[in-house]
Structure 1
């Protein structure tokens, strides 16, 4: 009956004091959009395993309006910001390119550079977020070097249901969303829409803009406005108890400012007066599962995604004159077919084929012509989930991925490949879900179009021959119930990466001087760490959650070059009190130490350690009736000045008020 070697979402601790609609929300998961196999998912729902899950109820309760905010309290996860005003996550030392994002199992990342701005993806229409690490199933497909994050949407359970939410907050924030759905037995529909807008955010006490010509001298952050609109629709058919067919469409439109650097770097490109007039995405997808007979199931995914992005680069802080808008259009289209076989006793055998075509187009600018790039990535996967004995389970997986450069502006085409492997052995300590497990995996990531071909505004040479990055992982974990009222998890992990892609300086006159930058496979790194999590029901009205992560990263290629953008230690804690049936009060703590970051625009030439920080939040929820919630709270209660990147301050003391109604 022991603890945990992985991760328990913060919401687990509040099971006995859940808000209105929490149980219903938990059952609204669109299981067709999940990737993990059924047997493993059932075990994880009992509290076992290395998968982390954040429910929609927890997202709502913690005022997590974006995906980055929703996962920030999970052990192993840390946030980062960059000079493009993008919200990123880092998972055990692996960045967002190495931990791809999926929506209902469909890959989400931008084809050109492999990144996705999680600040543009809101949570209002999600049922849950699943975070997998070293043991991420190979069924996700290629590029899961450090894990995978799957955003799972909703599926209605009642003939007519929905919710409406309205909110306001600091910085002129306004939010509104609704979800409407109905399940008619043999068919269902789900509709969602959301609007999130803010003018700025408050600067913390003691903040200082160090530039010679400061732009942020008031109480609020300049050029920090944002607008995100999202519309989603899903129509599904369930002709019988085993088959399901669904088509979905998502349209999102974003616009954001790019707050100006405020640090002490004197590098030429540190200060940027940028705005993003549009950050838009369209997604159309089809998912299905068909039971062919008693022993065979066929699953399919088809999708077509379009990304459009524009950047205005202004001359100064007046934001009146800018260069021609830099724009691109990326298109991803793909399909996957998965066959599941139950014919052999004790085996759940999966075989899958993935196909993905990525297209990137740089718009013509001045004398530069329009540039087209096209990659095709394929993957063959075989994964078997074996019941060795009553309490022993074994997962074995093998995949082979290939990427073909089909069209490359002025460069020769070519191809590269990688083989991946996964082994997971678990022992059920009790029938209640307590589990001991061991994971060994070998994962890879292909170089992106930007890695291989970008000239970085005339400062770099292309390298079409980049090899895939490769990581070997080991993880030992324990999860379960160490004592009455508690759920615990703990994990120790070791990851070693080779052929990591890094920017190097090479001798060349092609960039206007004597040297150029070039992406090369030169990096070897090691990530070692520990994760602990405990969710404890203290008394009938009190519950506690605490999570801790220790991460040590070493650059084995050159120990003089520091690995950046992750804290060495990170702690989260929350205490909830329910003084009455209608009231829930919650105090939270978030602290970290040991984050090293590069000085803006210096590459890795100048690195310094950020000061550690601790911030406290207070939240309250009032339920005047079972279907209505009033949430209000204060984040960064002490108005602490802290940063996740050089010269980019995080919000100071901020408040919010949200009203929700569920029917």
Structure 2
């Protein structure tokens, strides 16, 4: 048994050893400090995936929790990171939070959801459109709230093994003592390689047999939390630690003799995040909510000469230190509810690039970016409807810029309005819209990615004008949500390829404008006893204004993504699920900056979960999952197709 398999096996043994005494609380109270629910609050479109939803889908990681949510997708980029995208927008336009604290590394503006353990997260909420101002700066497309919960008691867990050396295991437990609650979680995932769907889709930098070149992964996560719930004050402190080492698949569309792909590996990735949550009732109708976070992040990137990954050329060593806080004061002044919000974050990035051929290390470059937000939001009943309006002031400064040109401070005003009312029996109509701004991340301003990018010191913030209409109907055996949307972007950050001394480099620039419109839809229907159907889909058009782009269609935005699932429970202990998803065609840039077509693809997944025993109050189930049954090629990004067929078997204890 390899060392990586021992990780999963050890965690599985922990589950089996402790689980007989486990019990789960049904209560779902948690300390929510991003955009809390209030009776008269009207919010833009949002999707919620609860614990039952997530368990049924058997996700391997947090990224796969976003499957089959309309308007939401997760894809692996050229750096090997699995990132979330809302309505096809760039990953930095979607903010990710864990228990109310931003999870993205500020230098890069994104987080790899593919290494975060699925067992840690108990629920996911996705906000789309002009999201509430508590989410702060940069959420121009949407926000994803990952919540660990704080009410679990006893222990539960899972373990799975599968194709190409895949293995994972997780254990989560908690205990309550009076007003205090403790929670812990441990998780490990390993794989030798990602499976290949079609070798013809990998013409370069790919071995003749075996899994995808350089896609091995080892990751271990630890999480602990201690909470207190008193009559007036509630507080919780949590600590997350994730350590990872991995390979990055080379872009298989590039001929090394013409335009060599990046041959990279991450020998070390370390993320530690401390989060403090608190709320206090300071009056009959007034509550103060606060969250503070401290994040430490480090990574090393080794660049190799070729696909053999034997000769290292350069190494990049990064260290990041981030400190931030958010305060929300909520009060009622009849008939209005008022929220005052302020947030601040400072992040330092230090980087050293070393030429491993000569052994000469470059200078230690230090960068800093500060983000600030202050705003207010009010809920107001307006006769038969209710409305929520908000306004905020955002500001970004970069006091340290390494060896790059100094940057001026930038600021912007954000605002939004949402109105909701009943238009028929069991039918609600919500209209929402607003303006949001995203400041360029420090990496977009200063990062050269080991010689891949040409920096643009004139890069400016991007602005989005957003509008949504959501029609929701809830029947006795079915429900339907239809959500047309529109987004007008100004200064949207794109990429173009430029030639410098005979070398093709990418350069970020502000497009004059973009326009995206489409519709999200979702329906659930009970067909008969034990048989349910789910249908979801997004149809979208995303175009740049004519004149400043090589071609108008925005990159990596599929024209549609549609699918559904059948869920069958022939008897209480057995659950069967079949899923289908079709991803429409899209476009991308090739190595020379020319337009490349990304073909449509189909994905079929199978899931099964059979409860076979009970040990005390715990249920023991065996699980089976088949991902991409048809082994079809889905290409979210040129040269980086999604994995092929994978089969997984496991055990789960709840």
TM-score by length of 1: 0.88
Correspondence for 1:636: 628
1:526 matches 2:520? no
Correspondence for 1:361: 350
* Alignment partner of 2:643 out of 632, 651, 660: 651
Correspondence for 1:69: 64
1:437 Cα deviation (Å)? 0.5
Q: Per-residue CA shift, 1:192-229, capped at 9, x if unaligned? A: 11011111132225645322xx5321142222111121
**Change in CA separation of 1:456 and 1:142 when aligned onto 2, cut-off 3 Å:** same
Correspondence for 1:115: 110
Correspondence for 2:559: 568
Distance (whole Å) between structure 2 residues aligned to residue 618 and residue 641 of structure 1: 17
1:506 Cα deviation (Å)? 8.1
* Alignment partner of 1:277 out of 252, 267, 291: 267
1:431 Cα deviation (Å)? 8.3
| Contact 1:639–1:652 (CA under 8 A) maintained in structure 2 | yes
Distance (whole Å) between structure 2 residues aligned to residue 562 and residue 206 of structure 1: 28
* Alignment partner of 2:219 out of 228, 245, 249: 228
1:373 matches 2:362? no
Correspondence for 1:13: none
1:174 matches 2:167? yes
Distance (whole Å) between structure 1 residues aligned to residue 632 and residue 575 of structure 2: 25
**Change in CA separation of 1:346 and 1:105 when aligned onto 2, cut-off 3 Å:** same
Distance (whole Å) between structure 1 residues aligned to residue 594 and residue 507 of structure 2: 19
| Contact 1:229–1:254 (CA under 8 A) maintained in structure 2 | yes
| Contact 2:636–2:642 (CA under 8 A) maintained in structure 1 | yes
| Contact 2:159–2:170 (CA under 8 A) maintained in structure 1 | yes
Summarize the alignment of residues 403-418 of structure 1 with structure 2, pairs less than 5 Å apart: 403-410=396-403, 411-418=405-412
Correspondence for 2:13: none
* Alignment partner of 2:143 out of 137, 148, 153: 148
Correspondence for 1:38: 38
Summarize the alignment of residues 185-334 of structure 1 with structure 2, pairs less than 5 Å apart: 185-205=178-198, 207-211=200-204, 214-240=205-231, 242-263=232-253, 268-334=258-324
Structure 1 residues 447-456 or 104-113, which shifts more?
A: 447-456
Distance (whole Å) between structure 1 residues aligned to residue 506 and residue 401 of structure 2: 20
Correspondence for 2:610: 622
1:612 matches 2:600? yes
Distance (whole Å) between structure 1 residues aligned to residue 507 and residue 644 of structure 2: 39
| Contact 2:237–2:275 (CA under 8 A) maintained in structure 1 | yes
For residue 493 of structure 2, give the secondary structure of its aligned residue in structure 1.
strand
Correspondence for 1:474: 467
* Alignment partner of 1:543 out of 532, 541, 551: 532
Distance (whole Å) between structure 2 residues aligned to residue 562 and residue 230 of structure 1: 39
Summarize the alignment of residues 429-508 of structure 1 with structure 2, pairs less than 5 Å apart: 429=423, 434-455=427-448, 457=450, 462-481=455-474, 483-503=475-495
Distance (whole Å) between structure 1 residues aligned to residue 244 and residue 170 of structure 2: 16
| Contact 2:366–2:400 (CA under 8 A) maintained in structure 1 | yes
Distance (whole Å) between structure 2 residues aligned to residue 473 and residue 522 of structure 1: 17
Q: Per-residue CA shift, 1:374-406, capped at 9, x if unaligned? A: 1111110101122223x4110100000111112
Q: Per-residue CA shift, 1:416-470, capped at 9, x if unaligned? A: 10110010000035786x4210011101100111222234556766444433100
Aligned-residue CA RMSD (Å): 2.5
**Change in CA separation of 1:106 and 1:430 when aligned onto 2, cut-off 3 Å:** farther
Correspondence for 1:392: 385
| Contact 1:25–1:127 (CA under 8 A) maintained in structure 2 | no
Distance (whole Å) between structure 1 residues aligned to residue 60 and residue 263 of structure 2: 26
Distance (whole Å) between structure 1 residues aligned to residue 308 and residue 196 of structure 2: 20
Distance (whole Å) between structure 2 residues aligned to residue 267 and residue 606 of structure 1: 18
For residue 109 of structure 1, give the secondary structure of its aligned residue in structure 2.
coil
For residue 93 of structure 1, give the secondary structure of its aligned residue in structure 2.
coil
| Contact 1:108–1:116 (CA under 8 A) maintained in structure 2 | yes
| Contact 1:477–1:492 (CA under 8 A) maintained in structure 2 | yes
Structure 1 residues 512-521 or 245-254, which shifts more?
A: 512-521
| Contact 1:299–1:338 (CA under 8 A) maintained in structure 2 | yes
Q: Per-residue CA shift, 1:318-354, capped at 9, x if unaligned? A: 3222134311011110111111111x11322100110
Summarize the alignment of residues 552-563 of structure 1 with structure 2, pairs less than 5 Å apart: 552-558=541-547, 560-563=551-554
Which one scores higher on RCO, CA 8 angstroms, separation ≥ 6? 1
| Contact 1:132–1:148 (CA under 8 A) maintained in structure 2 | yes
| Contact 1:33–1:153 (CA under 8 A) maintained in structure 2 | no
1:72 Cα deviation (Å)? 2.5
Q: Per-residue CA shift, 1:249-277, capped at 9, x if unaligned? A: 11011111112332255685542322111
* Alignment partner of 1:161 out of 138, 151, 154: 154
1:635 Cα deviation (Å)? 1.7
Structure 1 residues 253-262 or 346-355, which shifts more?
A: 253-262
Distance (whole Å) between structure 1 residues aligned to residue 609 and residue 451 of structure 2: 54
Correspondence for 1:427: 421
TM-score by length of 2: 0.89
1:658 Cα deviation (Å)? 2.1
Unaligned runs of 5+ in 1: 1-22
**Change in CA separation of 1:121 and 1:583 when aligned onto 2, cut-off 3 Å:** same
Distance (whole Å) between structure 2 residues aligned to residue 263 and residue 76 of structure 1: 28
| Contact 1:227–1:255 (CA under 8 A) maintained in structure 2 | yes
Q: Per-residue CA shift, 1:71-127, capped at 9, x if unaligned? A: 121111233322211212221131210111111111111222212222122221111
| Contact 2:88–2:558 (CA under 8 A) maintained in structure 1 | no
Correspondence for 1:53: 48
